[in-house]
Amino acid sequence: MSGAVCPGSFDPITLGHLDVFERAAAQFDEVVVAVLVNPNKAGMFTADERIAMIEESCEHLPNLRVESGSGLVVDFVKSRGLTAIVKGLRTGTDFEYELQMAQMNKHVAGVDTFFVATTPRYSFVSSSLAKEVASLGGDVSGLLPEPVNQRLRAKLGR
């Protein structure tokens, strides 16, 4: 059985993230979305809120589950008996950073990383950009799963 982890902060999940999850779920028997918590970084949504939004957005993916984690991603991967990391890439800058991380993860723990090129219509989408545009009153409904869009609007009092 093959399994992979899709790690990230997902504050909040975007349609770009969802696209990567769907594509990973088509390639691996088991996919775990790891909602990583950085204690030095205050997010808009709590880890529990992020997990709930991802679960709601991914109900159609029976081989995907969501967990929170902290520390090294490779430790998360190994502790669950999984073998790979899946990362979406939007730009060359993403690739340069993620390639270094992939090589370190392979060196440290023997964990392979699989890169998924972002679907072009999501190449500009990020959680940060969606939050910024929404906070200024812009429409981000085409960037986020609808349940996430509703929660973001509620969080912003819109």
Report the catalytic residues: 17, 41, 90, 127
Residue in the block written with tokens 């799963």: 145
Q: Residue 114 phi/psi, 5° resolution?
A: -110, 130
DSSP 18-78: HHHHHHHHHH-SEEEEEEE--TTS--SS-HHHHHHHHHHHTTT-TTEEEEEE-S-HHHHHH
Distances (CA, A) of 18 to 12, 13, 22, 69, 103: 11, 7, 6, 19, 25
- Rounded distance between C-alpha atoms, residue 123 and residue 37, angstroms: 24
Answer yes or no: are the C-beta atoms of 14 and 127 closer than 8 Å: yes
Look at strands 3-8 and 84-89 and give their pairing: parallel
